[in-house]
Amino acid sequence: MDEVKDMRNIIKTEFLKLKRYSVIKAGIIMTTLSPLLSLFYSTANGGPTWTFDYFMQQVMISNCTLFFPIIIALIAGYIITREYTDDTMKNILTIPIPYKQLLSGKLLILLLLTISFSLIGCVIALVINIIVGFPGVHFGNLLNMFIRVTGANIGIYISVLPIILIFCCSANNFLGGVALAFVYGYFGTFEGTLLNYYPIKASMILVDPTCGAEYGYTYHIFPAFITIVLTFLISMIILANKKKKPGTLTVGKKKKAVRKKGW
């Protein structure tokens, strides 16, 4: 019961901290760019017949391959390393909370942010669709849209977790993790049967097995599901073996030059 109470307090505290984090605004902006970029595709490519379903499929692909790997890694690195840049870790260390528990609370906040950004992206996509007038919008499609987009983004969250736990927990290396997340997501734009076992692609396959149909590829849900489960288990193993003490994760500070006394 004490651990549950501690986790509840960690999550509550992290929510209060989010109010002053400018990176959340950056995440919302990047979430907005995804449907806008998909709209650009619709005006640039006159081949396919654009419907609401096809538009949302393009939004999902943009989320998974371009925007959400970066958003998740960037926000994760920011909220984790902020304890060191703001010099608040020394205050947290006075509370008997294991570092792994603190890190787990931050990751849960990141999951809630992923769901929130998914909802924001869906609302923006719906507004764009109303303005542009793609056909095929009804209540069933709207519900299906939210479930598919949110499910795919949660899959991306799981896919990026190993990068977060390896790179983004270090105040000096998390930007490298963000860059790696970008490359990681970019390779999800490729097509091929082996990509059924690629976590980024598997996230899309789970909610849309026909995502490669226009390129002549057929994907399967079961191997994609196994891929996501294994990625999650690997992440939990990495988290369970986080033996480095939080006090050792410090940001390098420049030493001030000491003036010599006298002439």
- Is residue 104 scored above 80 in pLDDT? yes
- Is residue 185 scored above 90 in pLDDT? yes
- Is residue 250 scored above 50 in pLDDT? no
> 205, 159 in Cβ contact below 8 A?
no
Torsion of CA 43, 44, 46, 47, to 10 degrees: -130
- Is residue 44 scored above 90 in pLDDT? no
pLDDT tens-digit readout, 56-85: 888 999 999 999 999 999 999 888 887 766
Average pLDDT over residues 36-51: 74
- Is residue 225 scored above 70 in pLDDT? yes
Q: Which of 36-40, 44-48, 152-156 has the highest mean pLDDT?
A: 152-156
**Greater model confidence, 170 or 74:** 74
255 DSSP 8-state letter: P
CA distance 140 to 147: 11
- What pLDDT is stored for residue 32 in this prediction? 92
**Greater model confidence, 40 or 43:** 40
Name the H helices within the chain.
Answer: 2-18, 23-44, 52-62, 68-85, 89-92, 99-132, 139-166, 174-186, 199-207, 221-240
**Greater model confidence, 157 or 55:** 157
* Single-letter residue type at 217: Y
pLDDT tens-digit readout, 190-201: 988 889 999 999
- Global pTM value: 0.86
C-alpha closest to that of 124 among 182, 63, 65: 63
253 pLDDT band, cuts 50/70/90, is: very low
C-alpha closest to that of 214 among 49, 1, 27, 25: 49
Residues 6+ apart with CB under 8 A from 55: 38, 39, 42, 125, 129, 134
DSSP-derived secondary structure for 113-170: HHHHHHHHHHHHHHHHHHHHT-S---HHHHHHHHHHHHHHHHHHHHHHHHHHHHTTTS
- Is residue 45 scored above 90 in pLDDT? no
